[in-house]
Structure 1
């Protein structure tokens, strides 16, 4: 599969694409509180598209380690006005970052064309609603829940176990009647994984090609970068994040999810140019 249709916005994945992150939350680990206002969020969306974002990923509930859950209504109040505003003005596919079936339904009605679910459609009603909405869905691996996922994550073989989980969720989607060409996969960097687990996943990311579905990778500004770079704070993790983005593209990632759109666009384009040269 090289083309995904996000509610009429068709994106060719023959070259790697960039998904810009727009969190309309007060407590996300990097940009919490920065884009709560509808107008500020819309301005940020315009900037990211100008910088080269192919998708915009809108989230209304933080999934950082230790994050507390928010109510369905609160999440709707955060994301729906922003999705409506962006969809009315910007012709770029909108992804809604949610695990709640009702938020999925309302977000797609408001203009979202892709569901990005850290729970991989395991919440009540999510599978059925995803089938009904008939938009692409990104299934992510997470061990545990955001509140507890980093307490002491354990794997015997992190790559094999993450792949097995994603296979099982693909099978669940197919059994529900969701078309295979609607699915994308995310190994879930930082979601119930130690530094070694994260580094191992990135080192062996090419193995995920066995699943024969587009791979979305989100490492931007995450703690794994800070841990390697002498406890670098969030605002000093750009260059480490660019290195991870390049390695992910070299290992087959189709979409890079990032806070830092323009630098990532340049790094990914350069990497793809080299990869594309015929031997």
Structure 2
């Protein structure tokens, strides 16, 4: 696949636009919003952290009401330099939250944000529908087999190293080609294991400098040749607030601007802290393209 990926530069690629979730086909023909629900005490954006039942349900209700297609529940902060926590603690955080959200919002799609296969398995058994792995299988050799056994959609993100070491691993011969090849190899491995429902996340901010992030966003459509829908996770990241010399809490306007660019360059999912604003951005994008 990697050879084909590199040689077909001027070819139009057919991108898969449906996900099979528990036997139901879910369409991504139109862009959708994934709302971030951090069950952590140390995620980089303080206002996204919730860990009490009332706060979790309030945030989930706000996101669902605002148009979230998926709620992404994570119990391990992957910001640069984040503290490590045990599998047991991460499992408890996410499964408690999933059970709580599922009891109140039975129809909403839930993804579990984890790089640990055991946490992913417990989360799916607790009612999650999708596995969102920031490591792309790098940090747990059992992840791909677990995804295949569970038969659920998988969000494959590009990252090098760990959240603790990734900042030093951003040397590329050619940014787009290298990222594309690394993702293509993993798509092949997943396909060989019988996993067909894959979403590609290019991993903004993960083993990439600020300038590399902007180049990747500018050329995001290049990754459509992998044949899978693209997710853009730009929300309030350092590429925005460091460029603007502001704090994450002030980076909504910048997030909205870059989300529109991501949509124009082929993103099917926006992973965000601010669902209402992202949903409005999609509405305007659709108005521009009707």
Instruction: Indicate whether 1:267 and 2:284 are aligned.
Output: no
Q: Deviations over 1:197-234 (max 9, x none)?
A: 000000001111111100011000000001221x2100
Deviation at 1:21, TM superposition (A): 0.2
Deviation at 1:162, TM superposition (A): 1.0
SS at match of 1:206: helix
2:250 to 228, 236, 253: 236
Counterpart position of 1:161: 178
1:69 to 73, 84, 89: 84
Deviation at 1:33, TM superposition (A): 7.6
SS at match of 1:172: helix
Cα-Cα RMSD: 1.4
Deviates more, 1:182-191 or 1:169-178: 169-178
Contact kept in structure 1, 2:161 and 2:169, CA below 8 Å: no
Deviation at 1:8, TM superposition (A): 5.4
Change over 3 Å in CA distance of 1:97–1:73 after alignment to 2: same
- Cα separation, 2, equivalents of 1:77 and 1:33: 19
SS at match of 1:115: strand
Deviation at 1:7, TM superposition (A): 3.1
Q: Deviations over 1:162-213 (max 9, x none)?
A: 11111011011112222x2x11100000001101100000000111111110
Within a 5 Å distance, the mapping from 1:125-204 to structure 2 comes to: 125-151=142-168, 153-178=170-195, 180=196, 182-204=197-219
Q: What is the number of residues matched between the two proteins? A: 273
TM-score norm. by structure 2 comes to 0.91
TM-score norm. by structure 1 comes to 0.94
Q: Deviations over 1:121-165 (max 9, x none)?
A: 231311111101001000000122110211362112111111111
Counterpart position of 2:13: none
SS at match of 1:184: strand
Listed as ranges, the gaps of 5+ residues in structure 1 are none
- Cα separation, 1, equivalents of 2:203 and 2:48: 23
Contact kept in structure 2, 1:27 and 1:33, CA below 8 Å: no
SS at match of 1:138: strand
Q: Deviations over 1:90-129 (max 9, x none)?
A: 1110000001111111100111000000111231311111
2:224 to 205, 209, 225: 209
Within a 5 Å distance, the mapping from 1:59-138 to structure 2 comes to: 59-90=74-105, 91-122=107-138, 123-138=140-155
Contact kept in structure 1, 2:160 and 2:169, CA below 8 Å: no
